[in-house]
Amino acid sequence: MRILSGLGTLGSRLFNDSKGPWGPKADNGAGDPPREPSRGPWGGERPAPRPDGNFGTAGIDAFIERNRRRFGGGFGDDGAPRRPSGSKIAWIVLGLIGLFLLSTTLHQIKPEERGVVTMFGRYSATLPPGVSFTLPTPIQRVQKVNVEQIRNIELGSAAEETLMLTGDQNIIDIAYQVRWSIKDPEEYLFELRTPVDTIRQVAESSMRQVVAQVSLQDAIGNKRGEIEARVQEEMQNTLDRYRSGVVVRGIAIKQADPPAEVNDAFKDVTAAQQDAQSAINNANAYSLQLKQIAEGEATAFDKVYTQYKAAPEVTRRRLYYETMERVLKGVDKTIVETPGVTSYLPLPQIQRQQPKAGQ
């Protein structure tokens, strides 16, 4: 019975409720006492009506202000900024996590680069140029390696001497440059602990090995190109055995001189050798010139001999005339062949004794 009476009471309240959206109504003339104004459906007090009977936007503004404060916006009554609420902090955290995941999973590899992927520190794959996706950090990490850049290592600069022993037991000071690049990013990153130091040591060892097989004159002379090629080959073979992932692009010897104490004497010797070589070259050039002249004369004599066999008398007379012409060409005399006239007259002397015109 108590349950039935309770349900009846609840039903009467539901059907006889005179409250509006802003709380119980005021006195309706039926003798009900006025009640205190209650809060509306959004927790605010009922706004006062305007003269036209509408409540206006005061309640909506209050609703927006309360929700803005609820999410951490605006300022408090004292003018101090409000602390963000828990929901706003959660959205910020989620945004930061999203940016972190995007930055560690999306990778842009340039055309000259390769991306080496490691999973928990162990090599996993190599990414080609372009856009690629991986698992986020710390599961997978990507390290970009430039495989087209030419790197240089300088050995034996002017500030320090790199003394080496040649094959003829002489000492030489060499300064050279090593050009190299990366051909296998995986081997370059994981096979050698300090790749640059390893390349430097291999270069110095290979240069010493090659210089020990040549003479001092060859090292400071015109065989530098051969030495550079041999050093490059020896370096590449050694680095390949180490699985370094490096390709040697070239060796350039910038300086190859004896030690500073005897450098001046060696320069004098080198200058004398260059002068001797220059004299030898001049002699060879003169010899070649004479040889060409002799060959030309021999060819001309062969032609004359062929003509002599065809017409001996005519050829003899022609040779006589040509010979006399060459002999008498520079002789100071005049020959007159006329009957009844002296065969020789000192005409040149008479011509010299005659005064010149205008004197």
Domain ranges of the chain: 41-48+55-74, 84-143, 151-258
Structure tokens at 8: 């009846």
What letter represents residue 222's amino acid?
Answer: N
The more confidently predicted of residues 75 and 129 is 129
CA distance 246 to 249: 9
Query: What is the number of alpha carbons within 13 Å of residue 49 lying toward its C-beta?
Result: 5
How far, in Å, are 12, 93, 125, 172 from residue 109 at the CA level?
75, 29, 14, 46
Mean pLDDT of 24-44: 49
| 244 Cβ contact list (under 8 Å, min separation 6) | 187, 188, 191, 192, 195, 198, 199
Task: Give the residue-averaged pLDDT of 5-14.
Answer: 50
Q: Between these two residues, 241 and 349, which has the higher pLDDT value? A: 241
The predicted structure's pLDDT at residue 21: 46
Q: Of residues 269 and 189, which shows the higher confidence score? A: 189
The highest-confidence range among 48-62, 204-218, 294-308, by mean pLDDT, is 204-218
In angstroms, the CA 277 to CA 288 distance is 16
Of the candidate CATH numbers 2.60.40.10, 3.40.50.300, 3.30.479.30, 3.40.190.10, the domain formed by 151-258 belongs to 3.30.479.30
Name the token pair of 56. 């206006």
Residue pLDDT, tens place only, 220-248: 888 899 999 999 999 999 999 999 999 99
Ranges 140-154, 251-265, 323-337, most confident: 140-154
